[in-house]
Amino acid sequence: MNACRFSFLLLLLAACHSEAPKPAAYGGWRTYGGSKDNIHYSALSQVDTSNVAQLEKVWEYHTLDGDSISQIQVNSIVIDSILYGVTPKLKLFALNAVTGEPKWVYDPAATAINACRGVAYYKSSDTDQRLFYTVGSFLYCVDAVKGVMIWKIDLHNDLGRDVKDLFVTSTTPGMVYKDMIIIGCRVAEEAAAAPGHIRAYDVHTGKLRWIFHTIPYPGEAGYESWKDTAAYKHIGGANSWSGFSLDEEKGVLFAPVGSASFDFYGGKRLGDGLFANCMLALDANTGRRIWHFQTVHHDIWDRDPPTPPVPVTVQKDGASVEAVVQTTKTGFIFLLDRKTGKPLYPVEERPVPTSGALPGEELSPTQPYSVGLPVFARQSLTEAGLNHLVPDTSVSEIERRLAGYKTGSLFTPPSKEGTVIFPGFDGAAEWGGPAFDPKTGLLYVNANEMPWILTMVDAAAAPKTDRSMTVGQAGKALYANNCMACHGEGRKGAGNYPSLIGVKKKYTTDQFMSLISSGRRMMPAFKQLSQGEKDALAAFILEQEAQQKKVFTAAPKVVDPYYQLPYGSTGYHKFLTKEGYPAVAPPWGTLTAIDLNKGVIVWKDTLGDYQEFKERGIHTGTENYGGPVVTAGGLVFIAATSDSKIRAFNKWTGRLLWEADLPACGFATPSVYEAGGRQFLVIACGGGKLKKKSGDSYVAFALGLKQ
Ligand code: HEC
């Protein structure tokens, strides 16, 4: 009997003799990320290193509701051979997981399109099966058998303050524990942001069961980490947007918490600011905090933990240790004891730059560096690290620009000259999350290596609106204050954000109003604007000439003084060459395998290609969104790249064994499951990021039937 079968028998025995929840068997894909511990692992081995090259596309499901900028970031789940996923317009659907034939489609008639990364599933009996996902600000509970809504609740409620005019949604599905759905949220990155408290709702009634204040109230632990005793009433953010993991046996929820708002200036939120930028362990029954670990103190760089900390078991000093692992936007890996939250490998509080901050800002003198484990991305950009694949004149240009920026440390403060953020706002690690192989102790993490430039500006210099203006002038000023950070000067688009030139052909005034009132995917809602201000924006952006000539009479809404900051940023800009390539030398995307038992990198590959460099024999990698999956068949599957491919690597060596073209980029994590005796690999092909064409389909691969 081989070792594998032997341990299978032991597992069976353990299951028969115990009432405790069974350890995750990793045979299916019933939860976002594969299993409740979210380790992206599949125990299936029908597809293995010897036959993976014979994988074929077996079905493609077109949702038929994509548009020119739509996306799908969903990691679909599969229950009893039914695959559940979400379309670009946030319709929820059920498919036969073997054939891709639709069973039902539920249409919430969404006007607010948020990024949606998946759904959560609950079952109490065959007739009571429920799915949960978020559309706009509403958490929906949908009957998984019939495809009809059971209830919905507005996530603006229960937050302990009036946030109805602020942006609240949820991108990553909640976690089902017992009869509760536990949910985090995405809120604005601006000063005017809702707090990101974590909440548990009753799956049957939608009633609030518990809340954990990520920005603590007086008397709660962590309250003293905010210098301003009233901060908890005004400051927002500290939201858990990148999903949870769960140790179901012990009833412990692991939650990542993002930075407090406003992202880039903390003068009105001085102090370390717990529980922003923390990994949290909460009692899943009550929401009580067990421990926390802060990965960045007083964050002013938007360094949210981009994925949940995931429970793993590692060998350390000859013993098995239950731990959680967190990969970060900065390229660090934090490995903590699961019970205590104490680092298993050394983490040093290192001195970081303390001068050069904007007036009113107080930088943390030290920051945690995970020094005992390898970093998986470059952490500093200097002249020697610039891109030399472009013509000399372009190299000189990026050298000149770099000389004008502040750079050098992960924690160089935001500045008016421009500060290099590297790794960038989208990592190193991003929301795809890592994969962990419980059999080998290897962790697989994909990373972006793209520098971004953060430039701060005086808010006083921002254009003002007043009643001597025309509606057109006011619209232009409002655009500069509210929209330009993303949509760029002259509405030309910037970074990952679309151009608004010519949108008058796409939107009626009503559609435009509903879009800016409810937000769309990475675009927040602008409920803080008065109707007159929105009218002026519409007149400007939709080029309504008659409207533009009228006199502007709208008064701005009265805003909380906490939201009036002395500084703003010019937005999210990548540091690119004239030709549009990253200003840093390749690799621009990587996949790294780290042995968590030994604390070493086992292999590292460049991930993805630009055709024009590939033809010159240069393997550059591309930015990537969506995570890997590791299988017992010896494979790591990943799409995520901007070259519209899905790939399989040998999990031990990193050798590329298979790749296939997708109809659009698969900016999502694949799902691996068995149905009808076959192993399937499914990936959402939504494109739409990194200026790539949008797609509207889910594609399934399996071994050909003749094998
Ligand atoms: C934080 C970044 C951000 C800000 C600020 C922002 N947007 Fe957007 N906007 C986006 C993104 C991202 C999209 C693409 C949405 C999607 O993926 O569906 C978008 C899409 C749009 C679209 C639709 C474009 C199309 O081609 O269909 C319009 C119109 C628009 N924004 C208007 C505005 C206006 C007006 C403002 C200011 C009041 C604004 N945006 C502020 C990020 C932003």
Mutate to test the pocket of ligand 1, among 69, 135, 189, 486 (most ligand atoms within 8 A of CB): 486
* Whole-number average pLDDT of the chain: 94
Model confidence pLDDT, tens digit, residues 221-252: 999 999 999 999 999 999 999 999 999 999 99
Report the C-alpha gap between 351 and 492 in whole angstroms: 40
Which residue CA neighbors atom 1 of ligand 1 most closely? 523
The CB of 110 under 6 Å from ligand 1? The reply is no
* CB half-sphere exposure, 487, CA atoms < 13 A: 19
* CB half-sphere exposure, 237, CA atoms < 13 A: 29
Return the CA Rg of the chain. 25
Both tokens of 309, joined, read 């900390």
CA of 487 to the centre of ligand 1 (A): 7
Report the C-alpha gap between 112 and 170 in whole angstroms: 12
Both tokens of 594, joined, read 């780290």
**Residue 286 pLDDT level (bands cut at 50, 70, 90):** very high
Alpha-carbon distances of 219 from 223, 232, 276, 289, 622, rounded to whole Å: 7, 12, 18, 14, 47
Please tell me the total number of residues recorded for the chain in this structure: 707
The CB of 503 under 6 Å from ligand 1? The reply is yes
* Confidence check: pLDDT of 4 > 60: no
Report the C-alpha gap between 363 and 499 in whole angstroms: 35
The CB of 667 under 6 Å from ligand 1? The reply is no
Domain boundaries, the chain: 456-574
**Residue 706 pLDDT level (bands cut at 50, 70, 90):** low
Nearest atom (ligand 1) to Cα of 512: 29
Report the C-alpha gap between 329 and 309 in whole angstroms: 13
Nearest atom (ligand 1) to Cα of 478: 38
Model confidence pLDDT, tens digit, residues 650-703: 999 999 999 999 999 999 999 999 999 999 999 999 999 999 999 999 999 999
Closest CA to 214 of 170, 191, 243, 184: 184
pTM over 0.85: yes
Question: Lowest mean pLDDT: which of 8-12, 94-98, 182-186, 584-588?
Answer: 8-12
Report the C-alpha gap between 361 and 649 in whole angstroms: 46
Closest CA to 392 of 614, 580, 577: 577
Q: Can you say whether the dihedral through the CA atoms of 668, 673, 675, 677 is positive or negative?
A: positive
The CB of 482 under 6 Å from ligand 1? The reply is yes
**Residue 7 pLDDT level (bands cut at 50, 70, 90):** very low
Percent of the chain with pLDDT over 70: 96
**Superfamily for 456-574?**
Cytochrome c-like domain (1.10.760.10)
Both tokens of 475, joined, read 């619209």
The CB of 537 under 6 Å from ligand 1? The reply is yes
Report the C-alpha gap between 421 and 310 in whole angstroms: 26
Q: Which amino acid type is present at position 545?
A: E
Asked if 376 and 599 touch (Cβ cutoff 8 Å), the reply is no
Report the C-alpha gap between 698 and 62 in whole angstroms: 7
Report the C-alpha gap between 65 and 282 in whole angstroms: 39
Report the C-alpha gap between 258 and 187 in whole angstroms: 10
**Residue 517 pLDDT level (bands cut at 50, 70, 90):** confident
Residue with tokens 């960038």: 424
Report the C-alpha gap between 640 and 56 in whole angstroms: 19
Closest CA to 663 of 627, 680, 639: 639
The CB of 389 under 6 Å from ligand 1? The reply is no
CA of 547 to the centre of ligand 1 (A): 22
Which residue CA neighbors atom 10 of ligand 1 most closely? 523
Report the C-alpha gap between 591 and 639 in whole angstroms: 11
The CB of 377 under 6 Å from ligand 1? The reply is no
CA of 68 to the centre of ligand 1 (A): 13
The CB of 477 under 6 Å from ligand 1? The reply is no
Mutate to test the pocket of ligand 1, among 497, 504, 530 (most ligand atoms within 8 A of CB): 497
* Confidence check: pLDDT of 6 > 70: no
Model confidence pLDDT, tens digit, residues 629-646: 999 999 999 999 999 999
